[in-house]
Amino acid sequence: MTVTTPGAGTPATQPLDGINVSVDGIEVNVPKGTLVIRVAEQLGVAVPRFCDHPLLDPVAACRMCLVEIEGQPKPQPACAITVTEGMKVRTQLTSEIADQAQKGVMEFLLINHPLDCPICDKGGECPLQNQAMANGRGETRFDGVKRTFPKPINVSAQILLDRERCVSCARCTRFAEQIAGDPFIDLLERGAKQQVGIGDDTPFDSYFSGNTIQICPVGALTSAKYRFRSRPFDLVSTPTICEHCASGCSLRTDVRRSTVLRRQAWDNPDVNEEWNCDKGRFAFGYQADGRIEHPLVRDESGELVAASWPEAIAIAAEGLKAAGSRSAVFTGGRLTVEDAYSYAKFARVVLGTDNIDFRSRTATAEEADFLAAHVAGRFDGPSYADLEAAPVVLLVDFEPEDESPIVFLRLRKASRHGVRVASIAPFASSGLTKLKGSLISAGPGQQPALIASLTDNVAASDSAQTATLLREQGSVILVGERAAQTPGTLAAVADLARTTGAKLAWIPRRAGERGALDAGALPGLLPGGRPLDNDQARVQVAGEWGIEIDQLPPVGLSLTEVVSTVHADNSALASAADPTKVERSITALLIAGVEAGDLEDPASFLMAVDSVPFVVSLEQRHSDVTQRADVVLPVAAAAEKAGAFTNWEGRTQTFGQVLRDALTMSDSRVLAMIATVAGSQFGRGDIAEIRSEFRRIGPWSGNHTHMSDVGSVDTIELSSGEALVSTWRPLLDRGVLQEGDPYLAATARPVEARLSRATADAVGATEFVVVSTDNGSIELPVTITQMPDGVIWLPTNSEGSSLRVELGIGQGSVVRLSGGAA
Amino acid sequence: MPLTPILTAHWDDEDSHTLTGYRRHGGYDMVAVTLNSNPDDVINLVKESGLRGRGGAGFPTGMKWSFVPQNDGKPHYLVVNADESEPGACKDIPLMMANPHALIEGCILASYAIRANHAFIYIRGEVPHVIRRVAAAAREAYSAGLLGKNIQGSGFDLDLVVHAGAGAYICGEETALLDSLEGRRGQPRLKPPFPAVAGLYASPTVINNVETIANIPTIVRNGADWFKQFGTEKSPGFKLFAVSGHVERPGIYEAPLGTTMRELLDYAGGVRKGHELKFWIPGGSSVPMLMPEHLDTPLTYEDMGALGTMLGTGTPMVFDETTSVVRAISRWIHFYKHESCGKCTPCREGTFWLDQILERFENGTAAETDIEKVDEICKQIAGRSFCALGDAASTPYAPALRYFREEFLAGTHTPANQLFDPVASTVFTGAMA
Ligand SMILES: Cc1cc2nc3c(=O)[nH]c(=O)nc-3n(C[C@H](O)[C@H](O)[C@H](O)COP(=O)(O)O)c2cc1C
Ligand code: SF4
Ligand code: SF4
Ligand code: SF4
Ligand code: FES
């Protein structure tokens, strides 16, 4: 935009196709289609408003933004009028008519407002309060009877509505309909009785419901979590990045007396715009309760007992140093970039091993291969903005609404503008329906062949269009971490991207996975995506780390390989005539943030942990791993440290320490202390040092590795009564980081099993189905769904459906089905 | 000016509402010819006639039709606004009872002109007898091959749907009507886009009043010049004037535009015997009142506008000296409060507030400052609300105050019912004595 102040002369650059308008006498040139209220904003003129929201379609309902437009007999709503050439706008600053109109509307808004500001959550940050001060009259002339409603009502377990505070701006309802695609709330009744409400049996259980609280211009919508907990002016706010998923939302975390009370979406136009999901907003109770408070060490009797930091660090350092290259490091997927980098360096420099894996889930060699070749240290993938410009976005084993909600919202925005979405999945989920997407139906195991048919452009008619569009400039393929669970899928996806020229992104679920990958927390990969077996890469990293090149270890083992190695050690020991002669290959584990229940085979993992002689666990909360560890060192939760997360785009975003007086230490600090006691050169583990070191290493500019051939994949023959499992995690489930937030949990989707009619009939599952394996069985209500026969979809880790722990199964496993009790 | 019974010519035939009755007087005669002519000719004819919409705003009908984009590949729709709900307006309902086929023939011709193959008649829900009658007429027209596929061998298809509203005045506002017709809650839509471009189901749509559409066959049959011989240059044609209130013979008087209220009063037998005119209203309740000195102003769009009021629906209401102005205004405000859709602040909150204060005037408990307060509240609504309902709610008070200030002053101490016996102004007043 070009601003011309009277007398300032004509600026050199005038956009040719812009529109010339004046606001309060200031002439500007703005793009065609700009709304008057936006022009005023750009000039710094604050036209008061309630219903206007830059990301929602205009309604012009509140009439607060009335301005005078020359030639128009009536004042006009600035939020709904687009500029025309030569338009002369006068706002309340220069027009008596506009000023009077606004004061009148403000007076009307207040006659029925309860003015309970002293007990209202919004008081102190309330657009109605603020604008009443700026654009209203000091005194009310209303002396009648105000409209009242019984207060409040629950529109969901989490969201409460005080109807008498509502100004009927329809921001919440438009958000639900236009942005989230969950129109569970709407305006009901008419006239002064108009109110927001829900259907009888349909609460506002949207994954995005919390946004309505934030955009409500009054205190009509509040959350059960925060209601009456604080006044805005008692809060200390810190800009943060959400730790829950790879979307990478900018948040604002609000603290009162060293307690996190609230999180809100923060404005980040490139990423989350102004939205976030309810998990990111409401799931932070886990940081407060059930934390490990001090170091623990195992005493002679085998009990974990409290220890001082120096004592615990000394034991950890001694044990790990003794194991050296016969140790392995598992870091989970939730670490900050800085902490992941510290583990990556600690493993190589202090322990001298490359046995490090950030993947605490099903993880395959094919995936490691894929990540090294196509993801690690590469920043040429698609961005959020690219999703909006793509001819087609193909989703492979990826359910954005559940697994990366802001990707979902951006795809929804894109699809509203005509971007096509196609999904390779077993059924059309509610998310895909909201994206107006087309389903390329695939049961477990069928993905590679279907992807190959797109690659070869021989796809069946309903997906032929996707195949064609993928070849157009700017198309995007988004592949979820679940793809690793079907052999051949990731290789096929890489092929498809290469053949069509589509941009490819891998979207893990957890916030720390992409950062850990770039930091080098995977066997064979040094920081910045450097192949460990590349000489130049070794030179660069060794130089920065101050070690000799040959001190860098050879390519090590993944988590899965470590676990099988430990079991092999155990069998060797068990069968050996003289166990003292048998040397274990793995003698120590350093484990951070790993939930056994997330792994492919939790029992086998825990048996391995049990049998490794020395285990150090860095954790926030007690877990199956801490119970088995020899040394437990408590570390800081997200709010207690500064750090950064790298989202699926490869965008690294830093955040500050929210709880500034927290006494906990980051993983990096704790590792530095161990390294110091172990006598290794490691650094102080402080954030500035790590960041500058990591930045100096930078991304790898040499050649990336190629994926090796996957070979042919066995097809599974099902016997009668059997089915293949398809599964992912709904956004809200039994995840540990959602503990302590009952209202949030109450808005989760119902736990159900999905089957085709034929599959259900074949096993007599009318209302319930019993799913069993040799490990156990579960019983769930059935939702008949159009999907391939012989397949059952189950939530991975929901109440009553913990597949790993209860059944020992995952994506693609075979289960037995039978009808349940009705 | 003499009465000009054209639409009403045969309303006293016993079978005026039937196909036979309508056909006896040339009804549907022009359909076959017209459907074989160029549709643009029909638009031009209506343009030339100068016909203005009879729904209240008086927008030129031919011009409205010509806004519909042609060859845009989208379906086009004709929607007839038969929601007649405004206090005082009672012309569309009698027309549909007495001569539904005139409306249906109008629908055929108008749909053909705008290239619509689907027409809807949206009738207010509280009048099931009217809905039944129009539906019966539509059935007759279908069986006579006047509706449906390939009408009279012309190759033109038209389906007509008679739709019952659910009882909301706001659904007479054309865009709220469209929302209602689509099955949503009736609230006015933001314009642009205008219905002619994106109306029903986001497709080009023409919305016209019942009387407007019923005029079309007469114009097609007799030509634009014939039509223009009635009325004035800016208000051509004739009108169903529905005179109600304190007159001897309330009813519908069809006369050229430009007829004066004095003439209409004469036709209606004058003000009730033994009473005198206090004030009158040219259209429905939404237009400002006039006084006896205005009786000789021609009832045209332009002359009423010059007096600061509007012709509106052309359904004058007559009030004699038994009427409490305070009570009348209070009733209207109460109506608007009850009918406000709630979408915009000035109308939703303003009518809520006005209603409380007017009730105080009616009860004799208002404060003197309330007199100006009401005026200011009305000014805060007028021209600032989302649709014309808010404007309508805000207009009656100012002229009432100008002419009858003392009644509002009295409202600060004496209940209106003590000053004006409510029974005296009713039609059954004699019976009560
Ligand atoms: C609150 C409100 C109620 C209305 N009710 C009616 C109605 O009942 N019938 C009608 O024909 N027009 C009504 N109108 C006018 C319509 O919006 C529209 O102008 C008219 O139907 C257009 O038809 P015409 O051009 O044939 O007059 C109403 C307008 C408003 C603002
Ligand atoms: S609840 Fe809030 S956001 Fe929703 S309509 Fe009312 S004031 Fe607007
Ligand atoms: S979308 Fe992901 S990053 Fe954003 S708030 Fe939700 S969990 Fe956090
Ligand atoms: S003026 Fe506003 S509240 Fe009143 S009916 Fe129109 S849109 Fe609804
Ligand atoms: S902000 Fe413009 S009408 Fe509400």
User: Chain A residues with CB inside 8 Å of B353's CB?
Assistant: 108, 111, 142, 144
Q: Give the mean pLDDT of A189-215.
A: 96
pLDDT of amino acid A583 = 92
User: Chain A residues with CB inside 8 Å of B356's CB?
Assistant: 144-145
Nearest CA in chain A to B387: A61
Closest CA to A731 of A504, A528, A429: A429
Q: Are A509 and A404 in contact (CB under 8 A)?
A: yes
Q: What is the pLDDT of residues A146-159, one digit of tens each?
A: 999 998 999 999 99
pLDDT of amino acid A822 = 59
Ligand number, closest to the Cα atom of A242: 3
Q: What is the pLDDT of residues B139-183, one digit of tens each?
A: 999 999 999 999 999 999 999 999 999 989 999 999 999 999 999
pLDDT of amino acid A618 = 98
Interchain pair A108, B168: CB under 8 A? no
Distance from residue A810's CA to the centre of ligand 5 (Å): 51
8-state DSSP, A285: G
Rounded (5°) CA angle A791-A793-A797: 145
pLDDT of amino acid B96 = 98
Q: What is the pLDDT of residues A716-737, one digit of tens each?
A: 889 999 999 999 999 999 998 9
Rounded to an integer, what distance in angstroms lies between the CA atom of residue B399 and that of residue B289?
7
Task: Name the residue of A171, A186, A274 to mutate for ligand 2: max ligand atoms within 8 A of Cβ.
Answer: A171
Q: Are A744 and A278 in contact (CB under 8 A)?
A: yes
User: Chain A residues with CB inside 8 Å of B168's CB?
Assistant: 190
Closest partner residue to B348 among A58, A141, A191, by Cβ? A191
Interchain pair A62, B349: CB under 8 A? no
Q: Are A541 and A716 in contact (CB under 8 A)?
A: no
A14: pLDDT confidence band, cut at 50, 70 and 90? low
Q: Give the mean pLDDT of A190-195.
A: 96
Closest CA to A763 of A773, A755, A751, A752: A755
Closest CA to A755 of A777, A774, A772, A780: A780
User: Chain A residues with CB inside 8 Å of B183's CB?
Assistant: none
Rounded to an integer, what distance in angstroms lies between the CA atom of residue A701 and that of residue A694?
15
Rounded to an integer, what distance in angstroms lies between the CA atom of residue A613 and that of residue A732?
37
pLDDT of amino acid A704 = 86
A7: pLDDT confidence band, cut at 50, 70 and 90? very low
The number of C-beta contacts closer than 8 angstroms across A and B is 96
Q: Are A159 and A182 in contact (CB under 8 A)?
A: no
pLDDT of amino acid B428 = 87
Q: For A330-446, where are the alpha helices, taking DSSP H only?
A: 337-345, 365-374, 384-389, 400-403, 405-416, 430-434
State whether the Cα torsion A47-A49-A54-A60 is positive or negative: negative
pLDDT value at A3 more than 50: no
Q: How far is CA A727 from CA A148, A397, A648, in A?
A: 48, 10, 21
Q: For ligand 2, say whether the CB of A170 is within 6 Å of any of its atoms.
A: yes
Interchain pair A61, B373: CB under 8 A? no
Which segments of B267-312 are extended strands (E)? 277-281
Interchain pair B340, A191: CB under 8 A? yes
Closest partner residue to B190 among A60, A107, A147, by Cβ? A60
Closest CA to B313 of B91, B78, B9: B91
Task: Name the residue of B189, B343, B354, B355 to mutate for ligand 4: max ligand atoms within 8 A of Cβ.
Answer: B343
Distance in angstroms between the alpha carbons of the first and the last residue of chain B: 39
Phi, psi of A511 (to 5 degrees): -65, -25
pLDDT value at A328 more than 50: yes
Distance from residue A413's CA to the centre of ligand 5 (Å): 22
Closest CA to A112 of A218, A249, A246, A4: A218
pLDDT of amino acid A10 = 45
Tokens at residue A190, please? 């008419």
Ligand number, closest to the Cα atom of B284: 1
Distance from residue B105's CA to the centre of ligand 1 (Å): 21
pLDDT of amino acid B128 = 97
Predicted model pTM: 0.95
Q: What is the pLDDT of residues A398-448, one digit of tens each?
A: 999 999 999 999 999 999 999 999 999 999 999 999 999 999 999 999 999
Longest CA–CA span in chain A (Å) reads: 102
Tokens at residue B341, please? 């859709």
Q: What is the pLDDT of residues A275-313, one digit of tens each?
A: 999 999 999 998 887 899 999 999 999 999 999 999 999
Rounded to an integer, what distance in angstroms lies between the CA atom of residue A663 and that of residue A657?
12
pLDDT of amino acid A458 = 87
Q: What is the pLDDT of residues A35-78, one digit of tens each?
A: 999 999 999 999 999 999 999 999 999 999 999 999 999 999 99
User: Chain A residues with CB inside 8 Å of B357's CB?
Assistant: 144
Average pLDDT over chain B, rounded to an integer = 97
Residue nearest to atom 5 of ligand 3 (CA): A280
Nearest CA in chain A to B390: A191
Q: Are B77 and B206 in contact (CB under 8 A)?
A: yes
User: Chain B residues with CB inside 8 Å of A74's CB?
Assistant: 383-384
Best probe of the A interface among B179, B185, B348, by most A CBs < 10 A, is B348
Distance from residue A405's CA to the centre of ligand 3 (Å): 6
Rounded to an integer, what distance in angstroms lies between the CA atom of residue B114 and that of residue A731?
51
pLDDT of amino acid A13 = 52
Looking at this predicted complex, what is its ipTM?
0.96
pLDDT value at B427 more than 60: yes
Tokens at residue B230, please? 């009635």
Tokens at residue A368, please? 């490691």
Length of chain B: 433
Q: Give the mean pLDDT of A131-138.
A: 90
Interchain pair B345, A168: CB under 8 A? yes
Task: Name the residue of B173, B338, B386 to mutate for ligand 4: max ligand atoms within 8 A of Cβ.
Answer: B386
pLDDT value at A793 more than 50: yes
Interchain pair A109, B349: CB under 8 A? yes
Distance from residue A406's CA to the centre of ligand 3 (Å): 7
pLDDT of amino acid A139 = 85
Nearest CA in chain B to A168: B343
Query: Which residue's entry shows tokens 């016996």?
Result: B421
pLDDT of amino acid A1 = 42
Rounded to an integer, what distance in angstroms lies between the CA atom of residue A7 and that of residue A532?
64
pLDDT value at A462 more than 80: no
Q: For ligand 5, say whether the CB of A63 is within 6 Å of any of its atoms.
A: yes
Rounded to an integer, what distance in angstroms lies between the CA atom of residue A665 and that of residue A679?
20
Residue nearest to atom 1 of ligand 4 (CA): B390
pLDDT of amino acid A12 = 47
Distance from residue A623's CA to the centre of ligand 4 (Å): 59
Interchain pair A109, B380: CB under 8 A? no
Query: Which residues of B sit within 8 Å Cβ distance of A?
Result: 168, 170, 185, 190, 337-346, 348-353, 356-357, 373, 379-380, 383-386
Nearest CA in chain B to A144: B356
Task: Name the residue of A35, A39, A63, A109 to mutate for ligand 5: max ligand atoms within 8 A of Cβ.
Answer: A63
Closest partner residue to A60 among B348, B383, B386, by Cβ? B386
Q: What is the pLDDT of residues B213-242, one digit of tens each?
A: 999 999 999 999 999 999 999 999 999 999
User: Chain A residues with CB inside 8 Å of B380's CB?
Assistant: 101, 104-105, 107-108
Q: What is the pLDDT of residues B270-309, one digit of tens each?
A: 999 999 999 999 999 999 999 999 999 999 999 999 999 9
